[in-house]
Chains A and B, each alone.
Chain A
Amino acid sequence: MDVLLQQILNGLILGSLYAMVALGYTMVYGILELINFAHGEIVMLGAMVAVSVLALLTALGVPVPLALLAALTAAVAVCVATGVLVERVAYRPLRNAPRLAPLITAIGVSIVLQNLAMIFWGRQYLSFPPVLDIQIYEFAGATITNVQILIVAVAAVTMGGLLLLVQRTRLGRAMRATAQNREVAGLMGVDVNRVIAATFAVGSALAAVAGLLIAAYYGIAHYNMGFILGLKAFSAAVLGGIGNIPGALLGGLLLGVIESLGAGYIGDLTGGFLGSHYQDIFAFFILILVLIFRPSGLLGERVADRA
């Protein structure tokens, strides 16, 4: 078995999940210049709802494809409602406030969501019901399961849909206009508040899909999973150039590969001093390095202002 190829493959699968979450950060940042701290928690919410609904329905004997669809729908509904509510309650009133104010409420919201989930679902891990028959395929010396292929396929289709939405539809044009200049877009007849709410809704829907896929990938969901995931996805968005949609895709995939290769080889590189349990620090190191040396990210053309 080819270890390098296997690690790269794992990295790409993980990376497609990061990319989906990173899109949510990048879209909100593009429009509001706000780091939506609570986005990771929305992914967590999506995963928890999806796993609960799926477990409930399969226990009732509902056919698997139908149960999956219902779980997805429920997760999307809950996440979109939460995302829009959070925007309305915690961000909109502070749109003209000093920059730190919405960031602090975002942290507050993220803690609230996390703790509500903990009270509602408890502290234990929810396991993804074994509804999918796992088949393993050999591919040029590396292995991939059908679930992993499904994850990548769903992620690709969803992100393709998002690109179409942003580039081809009226709403997408309104989003791009708002991102460029909120005041002028308003003068041109764009209902800015609705567009911003729609951005949060779309980002949250992506988060819901990502949540379901992540739960399927790891086989578990936990109230605590959103925080670290959100940070990594944010790092991915910054790596690609925050506010830039293709950048989020690229950043997500790259981060996934770097993490997976790093975790695989860090032991050899440091002579056994650091082991694979340091996997989580790569995202932060990349984040810090990118912010220091190229704050606009790989694909970002605007130089981030340093005021």
Chain B
Amino acid sequence: MSGFRHSTAGRVDRNKPVRFSFDGKTYQGFAGDTLASALLANGVHLVGRSFKYHRPRGIVTAGSDEPNALVGIGADEAHYAPNMRATQVEIYDGLVAESQNRWPSLGFDVGAVNETFAPFLSAGFYYKTFMWPPKAWAKLYEPLIRRAAGLGRAPTQADADRYTQVYAHCDVLVVGSGPAGLAAALAAATTGGKVFVCDEQSEMGGSLLAETTATIDGLSARDWVARALADLAARPNVTLMPRTTAFGWYPHNFLGLCERITDHMAKADPKLPRERLWQIRAKEVVLATGALERPLVFPDNDRPGVMMAEAARIYANRFGVKPGDKAVIFTACDSAYRAALDLMAAGVAIATIADLRAAPCGPWIDRVRSAGIAIRAGTVVTGTTGRLRIDSVSLATVGIDGNPGSSENIACDLLLMSGGFTPSVHLFSQSRGKLVYDEALQAYLPGISVERERSAGACRGIYDLDKVLSNGAASGTGAAKAAGFAAADTITFSTTADSVGTDGFIGVTPFGGPSSKARAWIDFQNDVTAKDVRLAIREGFRSIEHVKRYTTTGMATDQGKTSNMNALGLVSETLKVPVPQVGLTTFRPPYTPTTFGIFAGQSRGDMFDPLRKTPIHDWAAEQGAAFEDISLWKRAHYFPKRGEDIHAAVARECKATRGAVGIFDASTLGKIEVVGKDAAEFMNRMYTNAWTKLEPGRLRYGVMLREDGFVMDDGVVGRMATDRFHITTTTGGAPRVLSMMEDYLQTEWPGLDVWLTSTTEEWAVIAVQGPLARKVLEPLVEGIDLSREAMPHMSVREGRICGVPTRLFRVSFTGELGFEVNVPAGYGRAVWEAIFAAGQPHGMTPYGTETMHVLRAEKGFIIVGQETDGTVTPDDAGLGWAIGKAKKDFVGKRSLARPAMTASDRKQLVGLLTVDSKTVLEEGAQIVADPAQPIPMTMIGHVTSSYWSATLDRSIALALVRGGRARVGTRLSVPMPSGPITVEVVEPIFYDAKGARLDA
């Protein structure tokens, strides 16, 4: 024995010393230590400050249920992870850990002044204190709360680690590798089924790793574990997954597992990811998740040195660590007696065992008594002392009246507590299984299953080793059988282990009655005391869901693993209703905090979203284009020349296109090929327009509605042949248009002979627009007569351009003479460059989406999604002319006949001209009739598009205004923070109203 480390006991590797630092100080541990065990071996109990009162806190547990020992891990900010449980962190050479929620140091923390204000920080203090005045929220309360709340701090640099995601299928997934899980895995494995076994700990074996006396099949528990794991590892149908937490259950036996791969390594292979998300579809699941020891609730039960009895046993037996020199034990069950004997063997003096029970008896009690340890029955802890570590405990016997008598003070540096065990039903509950309260065990147990799973061992309230093993084996066999694998023989086990019974206690120990001023912690992590819960009940909260949210008990990162049942017990006792009537809060994923990294996986940075680029993208990039994101596409926004800002560039591009010729990449337009003998009939039904009489070689602007009558999409459609249409859709709308078309075709009109094919990425689309467009293209085309007479506006011809097959549209979204050259995408850039070269003598200018927007707005052409918002009818948008009046039916037609759709005060598309021509309105700005009216004003519309028009040397805007067409010629107002802007309502067309230019 040296210091607090036993010379031989435990599973740590004494040949491999490990140096690590905590709060800047260097310590030594051994390979196999957790940060918690290594700190305890160095005599360090104080590891953190509490959430609200900044109380000094120590290590309470030895597992993932740890509420106090939360630390920040990482030598640099790019590898820093806050709120790691020291009880799960495996140490390695060079590990850097720091405590949290303290300043300037753990030993002296200014925040502890909150203790003084404790009377003002009672349950619901957030709701009571930070209410008034409202303006103080943004400036005072929220920053204050944000600084005070939260245990860890976010790292200041982006996460440098990689995370991966994998999918897997198996026949049987066993969650947990304690005795039940191992027995289940062995039984399932012998059937030949594909078995996965996961465990959140670094070593498999669960509670057996800390077992020193029990034997299984004539072997010590540890040797049996080693044999079982070797057996499983040798089977090709078994996958063992240590350091892997099953954190979430999702429908249809789909589980999320987080495998920690490099966190325990001093020097990890850079090829390895830090963590791996396993998404496993298991035919059957065996939950062997064990049970968590419950703390006891008594005054000042949160001092460093107050620890769970079983945790102390684990530190002694598994890690060879002595958690203190002199211990007092406070218990309501037999397992703490077993712990007392193991700790005594490890060199801890046991001052006394205070047992809440009036008359504890049984083999463990007898053994303790014969070991010479004093047992005090019917005794409670009435208080503790010690600033940064416990130094004494007050004990008192509970009298017949239920209240404690006079206290006796006992010096100690360790207080171990045990209120019995709570089955870990988290995953079962997440799977929507119904929990049933067991009065005898004072525990919720798995009841009726909804998914294909079964619970085995302690997580279903079975604690005795022989029963746990046989239950585990039966579960493994049953699961394999349900997955279609027959079991050969029943596996049996012979064990020697004494039962520790099933006693326990929930609620608050009787240390002083309901009016006691003492503070007894229920939820360590969120700093919730019994007094807080009682106050909430006095203030009228009844449901545990409400008590939870008001007091925040069970709402911390540990999700109430150690606190929920005691809170339930207290509410039950105070309200004098049985526990099941109090209710139970819902268990939700994740079981333990899980990094965002594994959910993001590879989807970070450039991989965050797919990126779509047109065939002409690289050319635009080489020309120095500025790009904008349109759905997943990158589109050239404008092409700035040296020294130009967006306004100058767009003004130049507009003038060049109207004055000579511009070239624009329209490849992102959605495209669908509609083919079949019923293609025209299909088009008739899908679009508002009439298609039957549209001749091959002609184009038509089509409007598509949803069945509710509102505009869904629009685009120019070419009839290539009697049975073939080339549809274009909006850039963002292509998938939903195709999906809606498929829906009607497959489910409403399956008899139509029509085939739909997405051709968006098959065609590059080069728009050549402007009075000189024909001159540029004429020398490049073969087999197409581009003359005004041979190829009028809204026509399409097939032929060749620059030697490449083309569908050449004569169409204009600018109001100028225009063509859209469709060529196979692979030729897109070559044809673009050829046209651009041919256009140079004519002053051809590339333009981007911003200029496209300005030019179309000057002509009053709408953009679906900008002038429409899902509540706009064709008539609202000024597209009444596009409705085939003679058609008996089309999608949305019936809805257009509803009274509300024809009301005269609907919002209608109009143009707006600011009285001050230099003022450009803000898109989205609201419109009112009278800016002098009191606030809140009656809003009668909004600005949908607004630009500076270089062509007109003034601002223009489009807007949707209630009864707008009747307001043409009147003035309205756009109130802005700087004052109202007066506008004149005009027809929504600002340039070449007669359309002479596009007919040129």
Q: Do A and B bind each other?
A: no
